[in-house]
C-alpha cells in the first residue's frame, strides 16, 4: 500500500516520527510505538510510529526530520513496512528479569539510546530495571565506558588529567571555580565540565556564567585547556555523555536516581575528558542528599571500586554538609564569594577557602605534584600567592569574559527572633528561598548569609539578606523565609 | 509571558499536548513531560509539554484537542504556568520502592491513567514496578476493582451471571462460541466480551465476526442479553476496561505480562459485566503460554484467591495444550468447526465438542443449574438436542448476521514425509503458518488439520491444508511449513 505524505512542521530532535490513522495502522498490523520502514523512490528510513483517530487513511504524516531525510514532497508515495525491534529491547527485558548485563549488551542499549532507536517507554523500562535490581560494579563500569564510547570525547596528550566532583546538595559550595585555577596554577591539566542547576539555586555552570561564557564548543575548549591548563564550562554544551542526557530525561518525571546510573553518569563525565586522577566529595548532613555516614561510606566504596575498574586513581572525601558553604547562595552572590577567596580578600568566606585548600591538597598528593604531607602547604601557597587568581583571570579571558553586574539594590533582611547560638542552617530551606527569589534564572536572586553555625546572635540581628531583581519575587521569598526560618537558634 | 498559539492538526486521542521551543521551556523552568496550565480569556486547561529545538520562541503549538478545548484562535494569547504533578506519581514511586499499595492509592493511579493524566513514561514505571515486585492478591483485587470502577459497566438484574476465560495459546480453541449458546440455552445469562487476536491467528472476536457483527455498543448489547440471554462481542468496542487498554499499550513494546496485571486484566473484564460465576481454563503444554503443572497450579491458586476477594464464585480447569483444538485454525476455518459442533454434524471435531461439554458441565454445577454429578449429561443434552444451535442462531441474528463466505479455493497441502504416529503438533508453528497465510486480517487464511496427535499416518498423506486469499502469501506460508514442519511423527 502506498501512502501520501503530509509534513508536520515540528522538529522532534533527531527522532524520525510518522503518524498513521489508527485503522491504517491496524491494517498493517502495527501499533503506536512500533518501528516502521518508510520508502520512497529516493530514500529508505527507519521511523517510529504514532497513530491518531482522525486523519486521511491513505495519508502518512511525517515530522520535520523524517520528511527531510526522505526528501519527501507533494505528490510523493511512501511505502510502509514493519521493522524489527532493536535487539537491545531483549537485553532490557533480561535486566527487568534481574539478569546482570554483559558489557556488549550494555553497549548495545547505550548505542541505541544515542541513535534514538529506543523509545521513551523502552528507556523507562531500562531505568526501572536498573533502579529496582541495581547495577553491580562491573555493570556500572561498563555503563560508564559505553556512555563515553557513544558520546563526544576530549583527548589530551598529558599523562595526568585531574577532575573533581561533588555529590551536591550543599548550597554555595562553589569549590570547582577555586580548585580549577589552583590546580592549573600548579601545572596540572583540569578540563572541567559542570552542570547547570536542576533543583538547586545555582549549578557551577550557572555561577561561572556570571564571569565568563560557559557554552564554548569542544575544539575551542581543547585549545583553552592546552593553552592555560583548564576551563570551567557547561557540560551540556559539549555533548560528552549523550546517552546520559537522554536517560536523565526519562528519569526526570519520577526524579529517579538509580545508584548505578548516578555513579556511571558522574564517572562518564570524568572519563570523557580523559580524567585519570579524580576526587569525589560526599557531603553528609541531615538536609543534603546523603544523610548519614553509612550511606556515605557505601557510596565511597562503590566509587573507589568503579574508578579502579575504569583505571582511574580516585580519592573520596566525606565532608560536612550541615549548612551552606560560603556566604553567598545564588549565581552572582556565589561568584562574588569565589572572587573574594581567589583574591585573598579579608572578608572572604573562610569555610569555602579551607575546603578548597583541603580538596586541592588531596589532588596534589594523588597526582604526586606534592609529596605526601606537603599538599596542604602547597595548596595554601597556590591560593595566597595570587597564582590561582592569575590563572582564573586567564581562564575567564579565554572563555570570554563577562561584565559582572552590581548586586541588586532590591533586598530584604531576615532577622533573628531570639538571641542564642546558631545550631543549624537548613540547606533545603535556604535553597528554596533563593529559588523563590528567582535563582538561578535571575542571577541576582539569592541569599547572603551573615551568620553561620556556631555564631552567636542577638535578637533583631540580621541572619541573612535576600536579593532579587523582582520586587514581587522578593516579597514571596521573604514571606516564605519568615514563615519557615532555615535557622535553628538555641 | 504571553504566547501566540499555533494549531497542530493531529488528534492525540484525549491527551492535551502543547509544544514550546526548548529555550522558552527552559525560561519557564519546564521540561518535556511536565504538566502545564494553559490559560486564555476563555478557558483554562491542563496539558502535557513537549519541546522542540526549532519553532518561534514566542509561540506555543497546540495539538487538536488542546486547541479545541481552549477555543484558541489566531490573535489569541496563551499564558503558561507550571502545574503540579498528580499525586499518583508518588504512589508509583512507592511501588518502585517495593511498597505494597493501598486500595485508595491504586485507584488514584487507575483514575489518572483513564483521565490521561499520567504520561507513557509514568505508566511504564508503574508496569515495571508491578512486573518486578509483583502485586499481591489484595493489590490485584484492588487493581481489578479500580479498573472496573474507572470504565464502562454492564448491569443486569439477574442474580447469576456466568463468564469463562481461557489463558490462551492453543490455536483453534474456540470454546466460547459453543459454551455461550449452550449456557444461555440452559437459561443462564452470559454476556461475553472477547478479544481480537494480537499474536494468534484468530481471537474469539475475529472468529465470531465471520458470523455476526461484534462491534455493537453497550445499550444494544444489554438489550440482546436481556432478550436472548447472551452475546459474543469484541470487548474493545465497549470500553469496559479503559485503564487496562492504556496499560497494555505501554506493556506492548516489551511484551510484558506482569502476573498481577494479567490477572486483574482478565478479572476486570468479568467483573465489569457483573459476572459472579466464572470458569478459567489454563491449558498446559510445551508450546503454549503455561508449560508445566507447577505454573498452572500457582496461577490456579491466585485466580481462586482473587475471585474470592472480589466475591465471585470461581473454578479453574487445567486442560491439555499439546496440540491445536478442533481442525480449523484461522477465522473462517474455526467458525466452520464451531457450526459443525453446534449442528451435531458427523465430522464435527470431537476434541472441541468434548472440551465444551466439560466446561459447560462445570459451570452448570457451579451455578447450581445442575446437581452435582449431573452437569455432563445436562451439557450433552443442551448440545445434542439442538438447543444450543438454536440459541446461537438467535444470538447471531440479534448481533447482526453476516453471510459466511465459501472456503478459499486457493490452498496447498502439506504431506507427511514419513509414516508413523503423530506424537505432537507444535502450536506456535501452526499459528505462525496461519499468520503468514494472512490470518486473522484475511479471514480465509488458516490451516485445516487432517491429522491430530495419536493418529497414524502414511508417507505422502495430507497432514494439513493451508488456505489463503492470496497466492503469494500461500506460497510464503507453505514454504515456511515445509521448512519447519509443526508435526512430530515417530
Q: Do A11 and B256 touch (CB under 8 A)?
A: no
pLDDT of residue A441: 87
Q: Are both B203 and B128 inside the same structural domain?
A: no
pLDDT of residue B30: 84
Substitution target in A7, A10, A25 with the highest count of B β-carbons within 10 Å is A10
In this structure, is residue A152 part of a structural domain?
no
In this structure, is residue A450 part of a structural domain?
yes
- Average pLDDT across chain B, whole number: 94
Report residue A378: phi and psi, to 5°: -65, -40
B288's grid cell: 503454549
Q: Which of B434, B413, B466 is nearest to B171 (CA)?
A: B434
Four-residue CA torsion sign, A436, A440, A446, A452: positive
Give the confidence band of B200 by pLDDT, cuts at 50, 70, 90. confident
Give the confidence band of B13 by pLDDT, cuts at 50, 70, 90. confident
- Å from A278 to nearest chain B CA? 31
Q: Are both B231 and B313 inside the same structural domain?
A: yes
Q: Are both B114 and B169 inside the same structural domain?
A: no
What is the C-alpha to C-alpha distance for residues B173 and B355, in angstroms, rounded to an integer?
Answer: 9
Residue A188, domain CATH: 3.40.1030.10
B53 contact residues in A (CB cutoff 8 A): 11, 13
Q: Which of A238, A232, A148 is nearest to A192 (CA)?
A: A232
What is the C-alpha to C-alpha distance for residues A438 and A331, in angstroms, rounded to an integer?
Answer: 10
Q: Are both A395 and A420 inside the same structural domain?
A: no
A56's grid cell: 486521511
Residue A426, domain CATH: 3.90.1170.30
pLDDT surpassing 80 at residue B380: yes
Q: Do A131 and B96 touch (CB under 8 A)?
A: yes
Q: Which residue of A has its CA nearest to B18?
A: A10
Number of independent structural domains in chain B: 4
Q: Which of B412, B392, B409, B387 is nearest to B475 (CA)?
A: B412
* Facing residue for A128 by CB, picked from B8, B55, B125: B125
B422 in Cβ contact with B487 (< 8 Å): yes
What is the C-alpha to C-alpha distance for residues A364 and A381, in angstroms, rounded to an integer?
Answer: 12
pLDDT of residue A29: 75
In this structure, is residue A174 part of a structural domain?
yes
In this structure, is residue B140 part of a structural domain?
no
A89 contact residues in B (CB cutoff 8 A): 253-254
What is the C-alpha to C-alpha distance for residues A323 and A423, in angstroms, rounded to an integer?
Answer: 10
B470 contact residues in A (CB cutoff 8 A): none
Which residue among B14, B48, B82 closes a domain? B82
A33 contact residues in B (CB cutoff 8 A): 249, 252-253
B78 in Cβ contact with B39 (< 8 Å): yes
Q: Are both B325 and B181 inside the same structural domain?
A: yes
Supply the Cα-derived Rg of chain B in whole angstroms.
Answer: 26
Q: Do A129 and B132 touch (CB under 8 A)?
A: yes
- Å from A122 to nearest chain B CA? 7
Please report, for chain B, how many H helices and E strands are present, in that order. Answer: 18, 18
Q: Do A11 and B121 touch (CB under 8 A)?
A: no
Instruction: Lay out the sheet containing B162-166: strands in order across.
Output: B162-166, B277-284, B313-320
How many Cα atoms sit within 13 Å of A27 on the Cβ side?
Answer: 11
In this structure, is residue B110 part of a structural domain?
yes
What is the interface pTM, i.e. ipTM, of the complex? 0.88
Report pLDDT digits (tens) over B283-306.
Answer: 999 999 999 999 999 999 999 999
A213 in Cβ contact with A398 (< 8 Å): no
Report pLDDT digits (tens) over B381-412.
Answer: 999 999 999 999 999 999 999 999 999 999 99
- Å from A325 to nearest chain B CA? 25
Q: Which residue has the higher pLDDT, B63 or B485?
A: B63
Q: Do A13 and B52 touch (CB under 8 A)?
A: yes
Residue B22, domain CATH: 2.40.40.20
- Å from B177 to nearest chain A CA? 24
Which residue among A21, A47, A82 closes a domain? A82
Q: Are both B186 and B329 inside the same structural domain?
A: yes
pLDDT of residue A200: 85
Each residue's pLDDT tens digit in chain A (490 positions)? 789 999 999 888 778 999 999 888 877 778 888 899 999 998 999 999 999 988 999 999 999 999 999 998 888 999 998 888 999 999 999 999 999 999 999 999 999 999 989 999 999 999 999 999 999 999 999 999 999 999 999 999 999 999 999 998 899 999 999 999 999 999 999 999 998 887 789 999 999 999 999 999 999 999 999 999 999 999 988 888 889 989 988 998 898 989 999 999 999 999 999 999 999 999 999 999 999 999 999 999 999 999 999 999 999 999 999 999 999 999 999 999 999 999 999 999 999 999 999 999 999 999 999 999 999 999 999 999 999 999 999 999 999 999 999 999 999 999 999 999 999 999 999 999 999 899 998 999 999 999 999 999 999 999 999 999 999 989 999 999 998 879 999 9
A124 contact residues in B (CB cutoff 8 A): 120-121, 124-125, 128
Residue A18, beta-bridge partner list: A49, A62
- Å from A337 to nearest chain B CA? 26
In this structure, is residue B423 part of a structural domain?
yes
* Facing residue for B252 by CB, picked from A19, A33, A93: A33
Q: Which domain holds residue A483?
A: 411-489
Q: Do B124 and A124 touch (CB under 8 A)?
A: yes
Q: Where do runs of H (alpha helix) occur along B201-241?
A: 204-211, 218-228
What is the C-alpha to C-alpha distance for residues B107 and B113, in angstroms, rounded to an integer?
Answer: 10
* Facing residue for A253 by CB, picked from B11, B19, B119: B119
If you ran DSSP here, which 8-state letter would residue A38 be given?
A: E
Q: Are both A415 and A479 inside the same structural domain?
A: yes
* Facing residue for B121 by CB, picked from A10, A85, A253: A253
A124 in Cβ contact with B89 (< 8 Å): no
Q: Are both B335 and B199 inside the same structural domain?
A: yes
pLDDT of residue A385: 97
A316 in Cβ contact with A280 (< 8 Å): yes
E strand or H helix that includes residue A336: helix A331-342
Q: Do B253 and A128 touch (CB under 8 A)?
A: no
pLDDT of residue A86: 94
Give the confidence band of B257 by pLDDT, cuts at 50, 70, 90. confident
In this structure, is residue B253 part of a structural domain?
no
pLDDT of residue B120: 92
Q: Are both B68 and B23 inside the same structural domain?
A: yes
Which residue among A98, A118, A134 closes a domain? A134
* Facing residue for B132 by CB, picked from A53, A121, A132: A132
B120 contact residues in A (CB cutoff 8 A): 120-121, 124
What is the C-alpha to C-alpha distance for residues B363 and B313, in angstroms, rounded to an integer?
Answer: 10
Q: Which residue has the higher pLDDT, B73 or A349?
A: A349
B115-150 in b/e form (b: 16+ CB < 10 A) is ebbbbbbbbbbbbbbbbbbebebbbbbbbbbbbbbb
B52 contact residues in A (CB cutoff 8 A): 10-13
In this structure, is residue A30 part of a structural domain?
yes
A31 contact residues in B (CB cutoff 8 A): 249, 252
pLDDT of residue A333: 98
Catalytic residue among B23, B58, B257, B484: B257
B133 contact residues in A (CB cutoff 8 A): 132
Residues from A contacting B (CB-CB < 8 Å) are 8, 10-13, 19, 27, 29, 31-33, 52-55, 61, 64, 85, 89, 92-93, 96, 98, 119-122, 124-125, 128-129, 131-133, 249-250, 252-256, 441
Q: Are both A186 and A319 inside the same structural domain?
A: yes
pLDDT of residue B23: 83
Q: Are both B216 and B316 inside the same structural domain?
A: yes
What is the C-alpha to C-alpha distance for residues A416 and A20, in angstroms, rounded to an integer?
Answer: 64
- Å from A437 to nearest chain B CA? 14
E strand or H helix that includes residue B121: helix B120-133
Catalytic residue among A257, A413, A455, A484: A257
Substitution target in B124, B245, B473 with the highest count of A β-carbons within 10 Å is B124
In the three-class reduction of DSSP (H, G, I as helix; E, B as strand; rest coil), residue B285 is classed as coil
Q: Which of A47, A13, B126, A12 is nearest to A3 (CA)?
A: A47
> Is A257 known to be catalytic?
yes
Q: Are both A335 and A474 inside the same structural domain?
A: no
Residue A114, domain CATH: 1.20.970.10
Residue B415, beta-bridge partner list: B462
pLDDT of residue A24: 86
A310's grid cell: 575504569
Amino acid at each position: 500500500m502506498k501512502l501520501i505524505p503530509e509534513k508536520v512542521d515540528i522538529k522532534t530532535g533527531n527522532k524520525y516520527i510518522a503518524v498513521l490513522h489508527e485503522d491504517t495502522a491496524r491494517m498493517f498490523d502495527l501499533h503506536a510505538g512500533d518501528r516502521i520502514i518508510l520508502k520512497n523512490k529516493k530514500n529508505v528510513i527507519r521511523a517510529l510510529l504514532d497513530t491518531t483517530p482522525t486523519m486521511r487513511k491513505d495519508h502518512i504524516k511525517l515530522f520535520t526530520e523524517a520528511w527531510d531525510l526522505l526528501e519527501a514532497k507533494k505528490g510523493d508515495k511512501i511505502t510502509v513496512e514493519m521493522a524489527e525491534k532493536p535487539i537491545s529491547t531483549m537485553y532490557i527485558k533480561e535486566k527487568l528479569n534481574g539478569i546482570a548485563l554483559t558489557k556488549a549488551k550494555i553497549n548495545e542499549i547505550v548505542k541505541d539510546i544515542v541513535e534514538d532507536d529506543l523509545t521513551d517507554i523502552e528507556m523507562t523500562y531500562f531505568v526501572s530495571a536498573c533502579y529496582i535490581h541495581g547495577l553491580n560494579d562491573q555493570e556500572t563500569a561498563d555503563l560508564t565506558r559505553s556512555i563515553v564510547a557513544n558520546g563526544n570525547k576530549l583527548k589530551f596528550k598529558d599523562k595526568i588529567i585531574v577532575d573533581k566532583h561533588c555529590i551536591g546538595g550543599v548550597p554555595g559550595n562553589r569549590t570547582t571555580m577555586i580548585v580549577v585555577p589552583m590546580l592549573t596554577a600548579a601545572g596540572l591539566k583540569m578540563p572541567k565540565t559542570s552542570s547547570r542547576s536542576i533543583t538547586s539555586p545555582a549549578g557551577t555552570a550557572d555561577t561561572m556564567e556570571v564571569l565568563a561564557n560557559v557554552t564554548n564548543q569542544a575544539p575551542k575548549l581543547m585549545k583553552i585547556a592546552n593553552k592555560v591548563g583548564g576551563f570551567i564550562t557547561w557540560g551540556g554544551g559539549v555533548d560528552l555523555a549523550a546517552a546520559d542526557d537522554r536517560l536523565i530525561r526519562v528519569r526526570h518525571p519520577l526524579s529517579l536516581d538509580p545508584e548505578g546510573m548516578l555513579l556511571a553518569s558522574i564517572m562518564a563525565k570524568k572519563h570523557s575528558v580523559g580524567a585519570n586522577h579524580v576526587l569525589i566529595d560526599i557531603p553528609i548532613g541531615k538536609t543534603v542528599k546523603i544523610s548519614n555516614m553509612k550511606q556515605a561510606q557505601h557510596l565511597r566504596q562503590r566509587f573507589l571500586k568503579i574508578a579502579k575498574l575504569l583505571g582511574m586513581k580516585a580519592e573520596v572525601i566525606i565532608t560536612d554538609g550541615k549548612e551552606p558553604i560560603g556566604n553567598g547562595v545564588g549565581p552572582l552572590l556565589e561568584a562574588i564569594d569565589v572572587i573574594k577567596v581567589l583574591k585573598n580578600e579579608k572578608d572572604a568566606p573562610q569555610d569555602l577557602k579551607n575546603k578548597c585548600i583541603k580538596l586541592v591538597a588531596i589532588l596534589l598528593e594523588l597526582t604526586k605534584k606534592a609529596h605526601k604531607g606537603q599538599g596542604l602547604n602547597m595548596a595554601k601557597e597556590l591560593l595566597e600567592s595570587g597564582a590561582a587568581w592569575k590563572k582564573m583571570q586567564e581562564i575567564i579571558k579565554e572563555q570570554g569574559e563577562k561584565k559582572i553586574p552590581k548586586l541588586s539594590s532590591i533586598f530584604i533582611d531576615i532577622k533573628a527572633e531570639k538571641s542564642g547560638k546558631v545550631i543549624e542552617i537548613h540547606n533545603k530551606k535556604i535553597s528554596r528561598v533563593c529559588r523563590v527569589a528567582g535563582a538561578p534564572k535571575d542571577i541576582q536572586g539569592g541569599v547572603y548569609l551573615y551568620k553561620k553555625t556556631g555564631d552567636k546572635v542577638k535578637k533583631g540581628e540580621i541572619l541573612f539578606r535576600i536579593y532579587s531583581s523582582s520586587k514581587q519575587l522578593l516579597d514571596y521569598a521573604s514571606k516564605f523565609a519568615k514563615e519557615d526560618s532555615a535557622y535553628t537558634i538555641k
